[in-house]
Amino acid sequence: MKIRFNQKRGLFLSLFLAFILLIVMIGVCAARASDTEIYKNLKLFNEVLNMVEKNYVEEIDATAVIQGAIQGMIKSLDPHSAFMTAEQYRDLQADTKGTFSGLGIVITMQDDILTVVAPIEDKPAFVAGVKAGDKIIKINGETTKDFTIMDAVHKLRGEKGTTVTITVTREGEEAPISFDIVRDTIEIKSVKHAMYSRNIGYIRISNFQETTADELVAALAKIRSGAVPLKGLVLDLRNNPGGLLGQSVEVSDVFLKSGVIVSSKGRTKSSARISEARDDGMEPECPMVVLINGGTASAAEIVSGALRDNKRAILLGTQTFGKGSVQTIVPLNDGSALKLTIAKYYTPNGESIQAKGVAPDIVVEYVKPVADTKDKPRQIREKDLEGHIEGEKGEGDGIDEKTGREMADLKKDNQLKSAIDLLRTWEVFKKM
């Protein structure tokens, strides 16, 4: 209901001042001014309220005005801090549970433009062709200029079966591209696994949610249960946008017997933490390669840095995204919440990856596979010659259905192939 400010101005000004005091008390203002400067700026805010009260052309929705002021204040800090309404806060909670209805897309603000960090594998946005790095300039025809992250999330979410149109600009494309995407229930299983060459394990982590570490332990158990000893392990963190910090620590601990995993430093003592690995006797000891790229962000970068700095794995791929800040969620009394950046995190070697990313040990750019055509020449082999002499059959001869699928996977993914080739030759080079 709309009301005039001159009726409720005192109440809402008090609420706003209380919010300012909350920010100051928890010590998370981006650049705290002196007491004199704070008082001066609050006085300025009061003058603006007076001007609005006396001169604005229409009656004011007081709640919208106050929330807009709060959102503007938090937006001025950094792209990852945000004020969330009660509805937006519920959306965020649904994300970490692993079930929600939407497009399956992770976004951030980059240079004040809504940017895709990564589409989640096999989900509507991914299937439609949305790619990491796409700049979202419109949602359902509405410009995203001045949108916050939470504004965009609210617009992109919706009931299963409904359609949302997003328009993006993409590097290398002259004109904007539009996608009509049907929303679906996004139930994210964050860990997938497979085996290559009978003794090289593959684990893909797509994001970090509440169940990720447990899923990883279960996947490792299945991989290690085979008759053939594990000779190598590929951990695929490409296009992993991150998620829960605690889960990234637990995932790193699965592979490390000791050493620092990550540390964080902020303005308050409570934000300074050091997480260390513990030896539970279950850590795999085979060589590891971690796949990373520009869509590897946040919690995924923590795992990459921890395994690299502790000399547990080789990183292969391209430079990561570079999100090295820690956010905390502060629930507020009316059901809304404040998402606030409180610290920067550092790899075990003391390196901040903020706006820089984690560099791979071996740079391998992804090469888009060339589509097969009917006219493509095929290499002729002895077995293709009419009347050829049959070879002797033995273990591993021929290509069964599973091996055929593996070859197809590696043909489409040169980075994965490079990782597996490296692990295959690991033992050879150790003997030299």
Active site residues: 298, 309, 323
Residue type, position 424, single letter: R
CB-CB neighbours of 264 under 10 Å: 19
CA gyration radius for the chain? 26
Compute the distance between CA of residue 64 and CA of residue 44 in angstroms, rounded to an integer.
20
Q: List Cα–Cα distances, 26 to 337, 340, 356, in angstroms.
A: 14, 11, 28
Compute the distance between CA of residue 281 and CA of residue 329 in angstroms, rounded to an integer.
34
363 beta partners: 317
Compute the distance between CA of residue 91 and CA of residue 154 in angstroms, rounded to an integer.
8
Contact yes or no for 428/218 (Cβ under 8 A): no
Length of the chain: 432
Compute the distance between CA of residue 349 and CA of residue 308 in angstroms, rounded to an integer.
10
